[in-house]
Amino acid sequence: MTSVLNVDTIADKAGTGPVGLTKQHATKAWLKHDAGDASIKDSFNHSSLADIGTGRSDCNLTNAMSNANSSCTAANNTAVACISNQITMTTLRYSSDHFTVSGSFQDAAHCSTQMCGDLA
């Protein structure tokens, strides 16, 4: 027997807050972008993206994390990606940097990041 659940909104018991998953250590923000033209292809909990140099993007969150020590990872379709320590990660911003194997910054076309931790 198959069951189907169709809902428009899921809320906490009082009906005023987010459900438990948003309070757990799950992905709270993800971003698919092009580092070459600083365009967002798709995202969750990101308000904007800025080009801060070849292979470097300043990623801005819509909803703040509870602290600046959240876990953030990056990947791309070329060689190497990382979350930069050159720009101090804050509760609302981080830098996504993309490199060639030799260590030069590169404008990768298919960049992905995700952030895990607690929302503020």
Q: Tens of pLDDT along 28-83?
A: 999 999 988 999 999 999 999 999 999 889 999 999 999 988 888 888 887 666 77
Distance of alpha carbon 51 from alpha carbon 92, whole angstroms:
16
With beta carbons less than 8 A apart as the criterion, state whether 51 and 37 touch: yes
The length of the chain is 120
What is the pTM (predicted TM-score) of this model? 0.74
Enumerate the domain spans of the chain: 38-117
